[in-house]
């Protein structure tokens, strides 16, 4: 693209989706119409103008969340639609239950890199660049000992903006909140291992792995599982 060529609004929107302006917090711009995107930007700027004086960014953030909900919510139904809703009632009180935390955040311990595609130390940027490959491959499940210091946690995931998870793993891996719940007796125990995988993955291959994951949970003698997609 030459420097002096005009950029259309459609090109601008699409460039946030793994393009020249890739920003996974705003990749949803691709799924808005030009008119919707223009209105979103107008509202953002209007509210920014207010924030100069008020210092209140909450209305800006609210506009972004509303646009995100609109963009994702209208995506066409896909093949993973089910009629039945499985349900197993808990067989004991929470205070006596052992709970597994499993998240699709893409966390792992610093010296236990899951090495996707055999690559050691893959960067977040490379994971984003290789998103199509991730979506064709089976996920690698990482076990994180529950007492792992936050400073030893790493996160890498080609499908979402990991900046928040880097600042505070608790935004998607609520280990500390669950340890507190355990300490005050709300749950019996948090299991010794937390499980995480990058959720941008091949769904059919993931499904074939699930019996192993269930077995792993059974071996950990968990009674309940708290699941956190990003």
Partner 1 sequence: MSVGHVSRAFEQAGIPTVTIVVRAFRHVAERMRVPRALVTPHPMGRPLGAAGDAERQREVVEAALGLFESAEQGGTVQEFSAPFRPGRASV
E strand intervals along the chain: 98-103, 107-109, 142-145, 153-155, 189-190, 193-196, 224-228
Whichever of 10 and 69 has its CB closer to partner 1, that residue is 69
Whichever of 100 and 122 has its CB closer to partner 1, that residue is 100
Neighbours of 105 (CB within 10 A): 26
- 3-class DSSP assignment, residue 223: coil
Smallest gap from residue 7 Cβ to partner 1 (A): 25
Whichever of 28 and 108 has its CB closer to partner 1, that residue is 28
Smallest gap from residue 94 Cβ to partner 1 (A): 6
Smallest gap from residue 50 Cβ to partner 1 (A): 15
Smallest gap from residue 116 Cβ to partner 1 (A): 15
Smallest gap from residue 203 Cβ to partner 1 (A): 6
CA distance linking residue 150 with residue 142, whole number of Å: 15
Whichever of 49 and 90 has its CB closer to partner 1, that residue is 90
CB–CB of 87/219 below 8 Å?
A: no
Query: Is the four-CA dihedral 59, 65, 71, 77 of positive or negative sign?
Result: negative
Smallest gap from residue 118 Cβ to partner 1 (A): 22
CA atoms within 13 A on the CB side of 122: 24
Smallest gap from residue 18 Cβ to partner 1 (A): 15
Q: Which of 122, 123, 128 is nearest to 23 (CA)?
A: 128
Q: Which of 168, 166, 164, 229 is nearest to 198 (CA)?
A: 229
- 3-class DSSP assignment, residue 206: helix
Neighbours of 61 (CB within 10 A): 12
Whichever of 110 and 221 has its CB closer to partner 1, that residue is 221
Whichever of 34 and 56 has its CB closer to partner 1, that residue is 56
Whichever of 144 and 222 has its CB closer to partner 1, that residue is 222
CB–CB of 113/132 below 8 Å?
A: no
CA distance linking residue 155 with residue 179, whole number of Å: 21
């Amino acid at each position: 693209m030459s420097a002096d060529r005009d950029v259309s609004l459609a090109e601008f929107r699409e460039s946030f989706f793994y393009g020249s302006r890739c920003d996974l917090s705003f990749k949803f711009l691709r799924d808005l119409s030009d008119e919707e995107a223009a209105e979103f930007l107008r509202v953002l700027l209007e509210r920014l103008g207010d924030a100069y004086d008020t210092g209140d960014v909450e209305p800006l953030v609210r506009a972004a969340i509303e646009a995100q909900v609109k963009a994702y919510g209208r995506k066409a139904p896909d093949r993973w639609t089910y009629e039945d809703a499985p349900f197993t009632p808990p067989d004991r009180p929470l205070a006596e239950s052992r709970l597994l935390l499993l998240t699709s955040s893409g966390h792992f311990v610093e010296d236990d890199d899951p090495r996707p595609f055999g690559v050691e130390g893959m960067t977040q940027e490379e994971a984003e660049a290789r998103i199509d490959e991730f979506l064709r491959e089976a996920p690698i499940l990482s076990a994180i000992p529950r007492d792992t210091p936050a400073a030893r946690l790493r996160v890498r995931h080609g499908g979402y903006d990991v900046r928040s998870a880097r600042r505070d793993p608790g935004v998607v891996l609520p280990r500390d909140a669950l340890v507190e719940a355990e300490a005050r007796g709300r749950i019996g125990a948090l299991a010794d291992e937390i499980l995480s995988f990058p959720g941008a993955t091949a769904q059919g291959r993931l499904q074939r792995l699930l019996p192993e994951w269930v077995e792993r949970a059974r071996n950990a003698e968990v009674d309940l599982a708290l699941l956190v997609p990003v």
